[in-house]
Amino acid sequence: MHHKILILGACGQIGTELTIALREQHGVDNVVASDIRATDDAVMNAGPFEILDATDLHALEDVIMHYEIETVYLMAAMLSGTAEKFPMKAWSLNMDTLFHVLNLAKDKKISKIFWPSSIAVFGPDTPKENTPQLCIMAPSSVYGMSKLAGEGWCQYYHLKYGVDVRSLRYPGLISWKTQPGGGTTDYAVDIFHKAIEDGAYESFLSPETTLPMMYMEDAIRATLSIMESESSTLKKGMAYNVSAMSFNPQELAHAIRKQRPEFQISYAPDFRQSIADSWPDNVSDIEAQKDWQWKPQFYLEDMVKDMLLHLNR
């Protein structure tokens, strides 16, 4: 029998695609999508949907009881760019929602959690290249601080109360189906839309700002894979580095130009530049490879081709 799943923040960039994938895998009726507001996305509304503010513990508990939910994917969060503008709001949203689900699991009201971490846990003193799982972190962004604190709490609830919480440090995610909102890596999605609409893009990051990135298809596969893993080597409570590709705006523009030679890029770095400068160029995911056999399928050229193909349609 399929167990019941709840997705918090289902209308966001990852949530939307995750909802679709989980419904394909577990059956539409077993996956309850929820968000603070509804979108008119037909796919999203093809199954159970609840308007739910994940910071409201009572409302959250009601939905969990009503649908007899066992697993929660907590995808509601404020990303790095927006979090710098609203630090207190970001901290409460990112931390309160995590405590709610961790405590529900501690009280045995749910049995499994997915909580996304990010490469934002790393900071300016972190080694830039092949960044290991564990090293100097010291993030300098509000979002990064909330993610690093969240990782610590996930570990704590796992070790102290046996909570089954699984996590990935997502790099910047690129998708043609959904738009990101408020992140530092958003340029890598915006650029495709502008390339098609205007043939030109003004990047808010400088040409040589190299960051770890991943195609959404890989990110969803990684998420489903860590959640399904029965491997005895899987470290529950730990947020794994996962890596796929790494590039800067100049290299991405070059790859787009191979398909669209007329494409022009210009640069006007804004406040997000310093956030990006504090993050690694690329991370080592050796632990994810060893512990639950992670392997990406998309690299720069395939990703660019796929994005342009779908967005053109």
Using CB under 6 A as the binding rule, whether residue 209 contacts ligand AKB is answered as no
- In DSSP terms, 51 is beta-bridged to 35
Nearest residue (CB) to ligand AKB, 206 versus 264: 206
Residue 67 as a binder of ligand AKB (CB under 6 A): the answer is: no
In three-state secondary structure terms, 297 is: coil
Please report how close the Cβ of residue 125 comes to ligand AKB at its closest, in angstroms: 18
Sole window of 1-9, 115-123, 127-135, 229-237 interacting with ligand AKB (rule: CB under 6 A):
115-123
Q: Which is nearer to ligand AKB, 48 or 249 (CB)?
A: 249
d(CA 60, CA 245): 36
Among 16, 34, 94, 118, binds ligand AKB (CB under 6 A): 118
CB atoms within 10 A of CB 25: 13
Residue 265 Cβ vs ligand AKB, minimum distance, rounded to whole Å: 19
Q: Are strands 200-203 and 112-114 parallel, antiparallel or unpaired?
A: unpaired
Return the number of the residue (181 or 199) whose C-beta is nearest ligand AKB: 181
Residue nearest to ligand AKB (CB): 183
- Tokens representing 138 are 């010291």
- Residue keyed to tokens 């008119």: 40
Q: What is the DSSP letter of 221?
A: H
Helices (H), the chain: 13-26, 57-67, 80-85, 87-106, 142-161, 187-197, 216-228, 249-259, 272-277, 286-292, 300-312
Which residues are paired to 214 by β-bridges?
173
Does residue 79 touch ligand AKB according to CB under 6 A? yes
Residue 280 found at the interface with ligand AKB (CB under 6 A): no
Q: What angle (nearest 5°) sits at the alpha carbon of residue 146, between those of residues 101 and 230?
A: 50
Contacts of 227 (CB under 8 A, 6+ apart): 71, 112, 114, 166
Tell me the per-residue interface mask from 141 to 170 with ligand AKB, x by CB under 6 A, - otherwise.
Answer: --x--------------------------x
CB-based contact 150:115 (threshold 8 Å): yes
Q: How far is CA 195 from the centre of its chain?
A: 24
Placement of tokens 């530049």 in the chain: 273
Q: Does 120 bind ligand AKB (CB under 6 A)?
A: yes
Which residue in 143, 157, 187, 215 is the catalytic one? 143
Counting contacts by CB under 6 A, is residue 185 touching ligand AKB?
Answer: yes
183 near ligand AKB, judged by CB under 6 A: yes
Give 117's strand partners: 169
* Candidate ranges 23-31, 87-95, 113-121, 252-260; the one touching ligand AKB (CB under 6 A): 113-121
| Structural contact between residues 213 and 296, judged by C-beta atoms closer than 8 angstroms | no
Q: Which stretch binds ligand AKB (CB under 6 A): 59-67, 112-120, 291-299, 302-310?
A: 112-120
Q: Which residue, 110 or 121, has its beta carbon nearer to ligand AKB? A: 121
267 is catalytic: no
Amino acid in position 107: D
CB of 31 to ligand AKB, least distance (A): 24
Which of residues 80, 167, 243, 246 is near ligand AKB by CB under 6 A? 80
Query: Does 20 interact with ligand AKB (rule: CB under 6 A)?
Result: no
Q: Which is nearer to ligand AKB, 180 or 237 (CB)?
A: 180
CA distance 100 to 164: 14
Q: Which residues are catalytic?
A: 143
Task: Give the footprint of ligand AKB on this chain (CB under 6 A).
Answer: 79-80, 118-120, 143, 170, 172, 183-185
